[in-house]
Structure 1
Amino acid sequence: MTTLDPASEQPQGVSRRSFLSRSAATGLGIALVGSVDVVFGAGAAHAAPGGKGGRPHVLGYGPLIQDPAGLLSLPAGFSYKLIAQAGVTRLESGELTPSDPDGTASFPRRGGNGSVLVNNHEIDGAEPFPVPHLSGLVYDEQANGGTTNIEVDGDGNRIREYVSLAGTHNNCAGGQTPWGTWLTCEETEEILGKPHGYVFEVDPHNQDANQNPRPIKALGRYAHEAVAVDPDEGLVYLTEDAGNPNGLLYRYTPPRAALPLGKGSLKELADDAGTLEALAATTEDGTLVPDLSVATEPGTTYRTTWVNVPDRDAKTTPTRKQFSDTQITRSRKLEGMWWADGGTYFVASFARTDDGSAVAHDGQVWFLDPSRGTIELKLRFAYTPGDQDSDPDGPDNITVSPFGGVILAEDGEGASHLAGANDRGEAFFFARNDLNDSEFTGPNFSRNKKILFANIQSPGHVFAIQGPFVHQH
């Protein structure tokens, strides 16, 4: 069912498809710490040992059911509503919904009935439907990206959609703040009418707060991907999706006088306020780990140290090029982040030896624990180029499920899925894009846990998925 109303070398995201080699498949699929390796079989889910009476139990929510509409296959009992579609649905201001929905978060709607989604649009200028330049909401007249806010009721029915930020460039992922706003990230270093490569704050409820957008320059200018905020310490962690050389993981420490952070406080900071640092991961004996791809076993743990970024605004040299490889830790395709469990999960989408990585893989999920000062490899997708449809590759956006484990948006070769991994280390497919091979983006749950929102980036679909969600253990 739908709610559509048809009337109504630049480092901006290294292409996943540019670095595939075609050697024989090796290794296994995905695993969580404390579990055996799990290989994805054909279809949405597969049986695993340990069911009652010696019978295997079904991982996840069972096999995917082919969608008669040819859009989104889901397990039995689940359904979707198409709440926005680029070039089809209309904004409150009259224009068509913009192209390329990407990173997304949902917030409780005022009054408590429903949700407000803040939806990034990863537009670099070539897309058919730009984010409209509405008065007071534009950062740069020469840029066509930005965000829209989509309101739905408690059943996931579309109510309205409107521009909340315009004139930004290549808005990819971002992150929710503890104070109830969205930080949207520009995945670029381009200079158009103005410099780009910044983070902007978007309020899901107050359009007055979104007037006269100002970049948060204290968080640095680079090919931003995602953000996670420590609700206790006010530290901000950020990923960089860039190559030549590969990107970095950053930590921002605000000045003590700015604490506690709240709505609008980040964009009020001076451009050089606080400290921006890059990760230098080390082994127990203090040896630098120059490349995260070398970690092949879930459970691998490194200590975190941090190195100051000399020129965070990258006036002459990109931030990742301000370090030698003997100073910091790099990773290919650092992507989504999500704060949970007292730290932040973050994703490395893939690595290949011909892109500067030491070891090839089809994805990693790490957990950064600030209290322990460590990062730990939680999930790893082995490099399996011979199986592009039933073995997952290219995890991108991530959300931590309120039902246990994580949900990952796949951006790889072959069929695209939402993949899940439960807290026992068992992996499964939850949804499949039956329309095309475009990536999934922006998975996140409504506050009441009844709806999983997710997007197919092209041609630009935003879904509200409902069904019998249960704890995954």
Structure 2
Amino acid sequence: MSETRPSATRRQVLARTGALGASIAFTGALSELFAGTATAAAQGRAGYGPLVPDPNGLLDLPEGFRYKVLSREGDPLRSGEGKVPSNHDGMAAFRGRRGGVHLVRNHENRVTAKIGVPTVDGLTYDPAAKGGCTALALDRDDDVLGERVAIAGTAVNCAGGPTPWGTWLTCEETEDKAGTNGYTKDHGFIFEVDPVDPRRTGAIPLTAMGRFQHEAIAVDPWRGVVYETEDAFQKPFGLFYRFLPDRPGGGRGSLRAGGRLQAMRVPGLPDLSAVQETGASFRGVEWVDVPDPLAVSTPIRNQDFGPKGITHAQKLEGCYWGGRCVYFVSSYARRTEGSAGDHYGQVWRYDPARRCLTLVIVFGPDTDVQLPGESPDNICLTPSGGLMVCEDGGGTQHVYGVTRGGRVYAMARNAKNIGTPQDPEWGEFAGVTFSPDHRTMYVNCYTPGTTFAVTGPWHG
């Protein structure tokens, strides 16, 4: 998010943005993005109309939609443990009792964060670190019943992903070791968080899953394999990993039992950015054991994977499971920064049964690379079969929807100016997710940290 992605390194993929909508350039079969989702009853419709200015100056939405502020940075936590932390980032919604919802929310805090996650006995990994997660309990009307620390003492908690057994895997997007920035322990791990009772999972790093600049994860519900992306925008670029747990699908705490961390090798393809044509497929994908998952002396992406090397990619971010395949995103690639090719975003599909990797989507302006627009960041599948995309960059900030037919529309706009009238600035969006009953969209404003619940006449 903002702390880790300076504007000079952001790709421009949403072209010709405006107050009422946007257009997006891509090649490939857009339906690939929505594999495994239900068919939309109204997939031919694009959006919900123009955004209506919010008289309260917080969140502009289409007519008929309304929002509720669930939580604000700096307000007291309902638990009495301290203040709501800064830098609201990745988030997921889990089913609660009697139609309620449990939200788990990341806080991408470095040691310089304005408000860190309060340290709590039994839930703190490194007291010197200010990142972590908070958990909200909501009733069926999205009224907040409770808000508490879910894990503390972690660092730069950016994204992650839910597990099939109902927990959240929060990812540290850093490789700082003990002694760096005042930390007392090594960082760069994944931690499991129970959204209902965080003390059941505690603050235990899943060390076998590797220590690197984690971004997101996706779990194969059939095999129990966990796929992991590494967000590295400077060379050497990141890797795409899989973790083979010793107790696959064993439920909460099973990942602590250990397993094998492997990195993807595509024979003859050292850099994914060299591929430009959608539909290009590579069979015989290999998975190579990581020599030192804890990266004691050398970052994993720099380690020796043998004479055949390993496959890298710039800015590996989003990752999700669809159908019987895993999809992952390379946010952008630039030759000037060391990549083999230029692009403004790729979506790759890996089919484990066929050991086949396919480039299914390429995003970006197809004519003028200076076209306005900012990079998508957090992405979620919608109940009606499309996508919701959080915009991350300078200027006006939106949540955009993408229909199954490829049409882009503005769903929400941040109306709170945190700059000046002469030089306005708006916080980016993050953590978009839907309630299990599909009635509510939850989304964060990164700064000032604010969590919204959005309801209205959703399609389908």
TM-score scaled by length of structure 1: 0.83
Match of 1:465 in 2: 454
Kept after mapping to 1: 8 A contact 2:29/2:361: no
Aligned equivalent of 1:4: none
Which residue of 254, 257, 265 maps to 1:280?
265
- Tell me the residue number matched to 2:71: 84
Identity %: 42
Q: Is residue 438 of structure 1 aligned with residue 427 of structure 2?
A: yes
Counterpart of 2:381 in structure 1 is: 400
Write the distance in 1 (CA, Å) between the matches of 2:396 and 2:320.
24
Residue equivalent to 1:368: 350
Number of equivalent positions: 423
Secondary structure of the residue that 2:152 maps to in structure 1? Answer: strand
Structure 1 residues 35, 381: closer, same or farther in 2, change over 3 A? closer
422-431 or 188-197, which deviates more: 422-431
CA 1:417 to 1:350, structure 2 compared with 1: closer, same or farther past 3 Å?
farther
Pairwise CA distance, 1:469? 1.3
The CA distance in 1 between the partners of 2:407 and 2:384, in whole Å, is 14
Task: Indicate the residue corresponding to 1:336 in structure 2.
Answer: 318
Residue of structure 2 in register with 1:299 after alignment: 279
Aligned letter for 2:58?
L
Q: Distance in 2 between matches of 1:132 and 1:264?
A: 24
Determine the C-alpha separation between the residues in 2 that align with 1:320 and 1:394: 25
Tell me whether 1:18 sits opposite 2:13 in the alignment: no
Structure 1 residues 330 and 428, CA gap change in structure 2 (3 angstroms): farther
Q: Does 2:136 align with 1:150?
A: yes
Distance 1:67 1:370 in 2: 47
Corresponding residue number in structure 2 for 1:170: 156
Q: Deviations over 1:5-26 (max 9, x none)?
A: xxxxxx997524133699xx99
- The answer for the alignment partner of 1:264 in structure 2 is 253
Q: Which of residues 211, 234, 257 in structure 2 aligns to 1:221?
A: 211
> Partner of 1:250 in structure 2?
241
**In 1, distance between residues paired with 2:142 and 2:78?**
17
Whether 1:386 and 2:381 are equivalent positions in the alignment is no
Amino acid at match of 2:56: A
Contact 1:31 1:378 in 2 (8 A): no
**Structure 1 match to 2:230:** 240
Match of 1:448 among 412, 433, 437: 437
Q: Cα distance, 1:293 vs. partner?
A: 2.6
What CA deviation, in whole Å up to 9, does each residue of 1:37-64 have, x standing for no partner?
xxxxxxxxxxxxxxxxxxxx75222322
Q: Could you tell me how far 1:322 is from its partner in structure 2?
A: 0.9
- What SS does the corresponding residue of 1:320 show, helix, strand or coil? helix
User: Structure 1 pair 89/371, CA: closer, same or farther in 2 (3 Å)?
Assistant: farther
Q: 1:375 to 1:398 in 2, by over 3 A?
A: farther
Give distance in 2, aligned partners of 1:301 and 1:340. 18
Taking a change above 3 Å as real, the CA distance of residues 185 and 248 of structure 1, as seen in their structure-2 partners, is: same
Structure 2: give runs of 5+ residues left out of the alignment.
Answer: 17-22, 32-43, 178-182, 417-424
Q: Deviations over 1:417-452 (max 9, x none)?
A: 222222223333322223344322111111001111
Q: Does 1:134 align with 2:114?
A: no
- 1:95 is displaced (CA, Å) by 1.5
1:102 aligns with 2:115: no
Deviations 1:102-129, CA, capped at 9 Å, x for gaps:
11111111x2322110111100111111
**d(CA) in 2 for partners of 1:185 and 1:21?**
23
Letter in 2 for 1:220: G
Distance of aligned partners of 1:226 and 1:35 in 2 relative to their CA distance in 1, 3 Å threshold: closer
Taking a change above 3 Å as real, the CA distance of residues 35 and 229 of structure 1, as seen in their structure-2 partners, is: closer
1:276-326, Cα deviation, whole Å (9 max, x unpaired):
1112235xxxxx222223344443433432222111100000001114796
For the aligned residues, what is the CA RMSD? 2.7
Runs (4+) off by over 4 Å? 11-14, 323-326
Matched, 1:31 2:17: no
Considering Cα pairs closer than 8 Å and 6+ residues apart, tell me whether 1 or 2 has the greater RCO: 2
Letter in 2 for 1:320: R
CA distance in 1, matches of 2:399, 2:116: 26
Aligned to 1:64: 51
Q: 1:102 to 1:227 in 2, by over 3 A?
A: same
Whole-angstrom CA distance in 1 between matches of 2:53 and 2:275: 37
Determine the C-alpha separation between the residues in 2 that align with 1:301 and 1:68: 51
Distance in 1 between residues matched to 2:127 and 2:318, nearest whole Å: 28
Judge which range, 298-307 or 180-189, deviates more: 298-307
Question: Within the alignment, does 1:426 sit opposite 2:412 as a pair?
Answer: no
The whole-number CA distance in structure 1 between the counterparts of 2:290 and 2:242 is: 10
Inter-partner Cα distance in structure 2 for 1:202 and 1:411: 26
Please give the alpha-carbon distance, in whole angstroms, between the structure 2 residues aligned to 1:364 and 1:81: 34
